[in-house]
Every structure is written in structure tokens, then in C-alpha cells.
Amino acid sequence: MGEQENNKIGGGGGGGGNNAMAVDEAASAKGKSVGAADPRLQGISDAIRVVPHFPKPGIMFNDITELLLRPGVFKDAVDMFVERYRGMGIAAVAGIEARGFIFGPAIALAIGAKFIPLRKPKKLPGEVFSESYVLEYGMDCLEMHVGAIEPGEHVVVVDDLVATGGTLSAAIRLLERAGANVVECACLIGLPKFKDFYKLNGKPVYILVESRK
Amino acid sequence: MLFLHCQQPRVPSPSASAPPFRPRVVSVAAPLSVRVTGGRRGRAVVAMASADARLAGIASSIRVIPDFPKPGIMFQDITTLLLDPKAFRDTIDLFVERYKDQGITVVAGVEARGFIFGPPIALAIGAKFVPLRKPKKLPGEVISEEYSLEYGTDKIEMHVGAVQANDLALVVDDLIATGGTLCAAVKLIERVGAKVVECACVIELPELKGRDKLGDKPVFVLVEADA
């Protein structure tokens, strides 16, 4: 566990409906009522399907594919991130393979940023940076193209879900090695600790809804 | 010599059960030919100037990496296109302009690079997005379609219930080479009774004859390149 700190984008947020997290710092930063649950969050939370014991016994997998079958809800999720990051000088959105590829590009396109895929080993064809990270059993590795980032660029990292934060932490390290300034990590779903602005490697994590059991 | 041109869409035969698909021409005819040998820094995909200047920008943003993943293969790398917000925007816009009034209800994207282009198209035209994935990635009940590789076979999977029999589908991937993967994707979707109206890719390698493998199924691409 790490320390909890104030999120640098806004003050706190709170409240929410059934299973719907309203962490509405973006709204409060833009002068809307603090603590009001964004009505889109209920639809987003309802669209997430929990699949028990996948990929292993004991894991309750939060599946976003049902959300992708609801065009209005998919659009709402993307819009919420776009509203948060538009106009903040974000030069790049980095998405983690493979479900980060589903959400990241739409955000990048809407805010006029580059999209950078962070991939499993040996998928990217050119010269890469590699960052290893620890899994429950064994290790994995994330790669990024050399030259994707110019030093000093502001970047948001996107994935569908954050649990332990191992993959996201590796992504942050990868981007920082290339000289990026990682502004925030953005996920649709996260463990409850992330609603309290729990930081990863000192970086804020913004989630729309809490993962369900 | 390598060159790019826009594909004239082939009109599929009308079917009794679905309205005729009326593809729109993206590029204007009478292209001018612009050929460049070699290419700067390995960019061997070249633009044939046409009325649609966007295609020239898209083609020039694609990087070619020789001998990846194996010696002899010229890999068409779209990551440089993704680093060019205008080129990426134009790519999506060209597909959206083509498909937005065609009644398409599903965009299916082939893992993993189809996940980059498919969802923005789906969002813009108000369609569902269905990921077609490698084995064991989708958590729910799936149907699978096996297909041949140069050595051995591979499989793609789709969630049961994602596509319905009355859906009109578009299949999206970054590139069509031999057509094996796209063919498997089409079969998967049509097995549940839906109709694939077209396959859409950014790049085609015509020498590998992917269109032949897809038979009657139309393929729409933005740029062509040498294998």
C-alpha cells in the first residue's frame, strides 16, 4: 500500500449510486457541483459484467465487452475521459495492450494527442524500450517504441482496469525513462482504494467506477 | 516501385434479407502517378496524388521496417501513423464517411491492431464494438474459428451473444495480407447469422492476394504496399 495524497487536478470527490463511483474532480475543477454523481456513471457501472473464476479460480473478472455493445455507454465512458483531459496540453495517450487499445485511441483522437501502444514483447517492430514487471507468478514485460515520446511531453496512460497496479507502474516507468511527464493514469474500473486518489509511483490514478466482486 | 491508390469499392450482390449496401467512393478517379524510389528513412509506401490529399498524408505516415518479424518481410508499421494526430484522424474519418449511413450495427476488430481502428469507427457511427480475440482472452462463453498460418494454425474467438443474426457488420484490421485472419473473422460473424458487409483495412498487400481468399466479401483499403 502507499500513501494517499491529494489529487492534483481537483479537490476530493465522493458520493455515488449503487456500485457507481463518482470521483468528480474534473467536474469540480470545471466549476460544477462538488460531489454530484455524474449520471453517466450508473450506466457505465451497470454495463460491466463480472465473470467469476476467470482466468483462475478466485478471481472475479470485470469484463468490459458488454459495455462495448452499448454504443451510448461506450461513448459516455470515452466522453468522461475526454472532458477531463481536453485542454490540458496532453501530447500523448499511451494505451496498454490490448484493452487499453480499445479506449485510448478514441480519447487521443478527441483531444488531438498522439496514441502510443504499449505492447507485450516482440510485437513492436522498431527499436524499443522494455520494462519488466513482477506478476503473482513470474515476470512480464511491456515495450514502447523509441522515439514515440519527446522528452517533457505530458502523457496519460490508459487501461480498462487497474488492480494491483503492476502493469500501470511498469507503463509509468517506461514512459518516464523516455522522458515523459506522466500526468495521470486513467482506467474505467479500479479497486476501491483508487477512488481515494491512491497514487502509483507518485502518479494519480483516475477511475470511473469501482471493480465489483 | 511502390504506389498507393484508393480502392474502388466492389458492390456486393444484393441479398434478399438485407438492404443493398451502397458503398461510397472515397477517392475521385483520374489519379496522378507519383513514384519515388527507396523512400526517406525506410518509408517505402508512397502516395499517388489524388483528389483526396488525406490519403497522401496517411500513406507517408506509415513506416516500413525491413526483416520483421522475420528476414524477408517488409513490415508495415502503423504506429507512426498513430503518432500523427492528423493522419490518424483522417484515417478514421475516411472510414466513417464511407460507413456512417450504411446501417452498420457492429464493428468487429481483430486483436490487437484492429482494436485501435475499430472502436473510433464504431463510436462515430453508433455501432457496437466486438473484439475478436486470440484464444483464452475473452472471459465468457465463446465461439472459435481456426485458420491456417504459414506453419500451423491459429484461432480467433468471439463472445456468444455479441453479434445477433440481424446485425450488419464491418470487420476492421490494420492490414490485409493473405486474408487468413479476416476470412476467419468473417466466418465467425456469419456463423451466428449476421452479414458482414465489408472488411476495412488501412493497408493491403495485394501480392498476397487476400481479396481472392475473401471471395465475394468486399474489402476496402486506404493504401496499398508491396509485400
Q: Which residue has the cell 477511475?
A: A207
**Distance (Å, whole) CA A212 – CA A189:** 9
Which residue type occupies A197?
F
pLDDT of A154 reads 98
pLDDT of A35 reads 56
Per cent of chain B over pLDDT 90 is 74
Answer yes or no: is pLDDT of B198 > 60.
Answer: yes
Task: Using pLDDT thresholds of 50, 70 and 90, give the confidence band for residue B32.
Answer: very low
pLDDT of A135 reads 82
Interface contact flag, A71 B122, Cβ < 8 Å: yes
Catalytic member of B113, B145, B157, B204: B113
pLDDT of B53 reads 87
Coil vs helix vs strand at B82: helix
Cell numbers placing A41: 456513471
pLDDT of A196 reads 79
Q: Which residue of A has its CA nearest to B82?
A: A115
- How far B27 CA sits from the closest chain A CA (Å)? 23
Q: Which residue has the cell 443474426?
A: B165
Mutation for B interface: A68, A149, A189, most B CBs within 10 A: A68
Dihedral of alpha carbons B194, B124, A38, A82, sign: positive
Q: Which residue has the cell 467536474?
A: A27
Tens-digit pLDDT string for chain A (213 aa): 333 333 333 333 333 333 333 334 444 444 444 457 899 999 999 999 999 999 999 999 999 999 999 999 999 999 999 999 999 999 999 999 999 999 999 999 999 999 999 999 999 999 999 999 988 778 999 999 999 999 999 999 999 999 989 999 999 999 999 999 999 999 999 999 898 778 998 999 999 999 988
Interface contact flag, B119 A74, Cβ < 8 Å: yes
Contacts of A108 in chain B (CB under 8 A): 82, 85, 88
pLDDT of A133 reads 94
Answer yes or no: is pLDDT of B116 > 80.
Answer: yes
Which residue type occupies B123?
L
Interface contact flag, B115 A68, Cβ < 8 Å: no
Contacts of A122 in chain B (CB under 8 A): 69
Question: Per DSSP, which regions of chain B are E strands?
Answer: 63-66, 74-77, 106-110, 128-132, 142-148, 153-159, 168-176, 195-204, 219-224
A to B CB pairs, distance under 8 Å: 106
Its pTM stands at: 0.83
| Helix (H), strand (E) counts: chain B | 6, 9
* Residues paired with B146 in a beta bridge: B155
Task: Pick the more confident residue, A86 or B23.
Answer: A86
Residue B46 CB coordination number (10 Å): 21
pLDDT of A211 reads 93
Which member of A63, A101, A123 has the closest CB to residue B140? Answer: A63
Query: Mean per-residue pLDDT for B30-55?
Result: 45
Task: Using pLDDT thresholds of 50, 70 and 90, give the confidence band for residue B144.
Answer: very high
Answer yes or no: is pLDDT of B44 > 80.
Answer: no
Would you say the ipTM is above 0.90? no
Instruction: Give CB contacts under 8 A, 24+ apart, made by A56-62.
Output: A60/A211, A60/A212, A60/A213, A61/B139, A62/A161, A62/A189, A62/A211, A62/A212
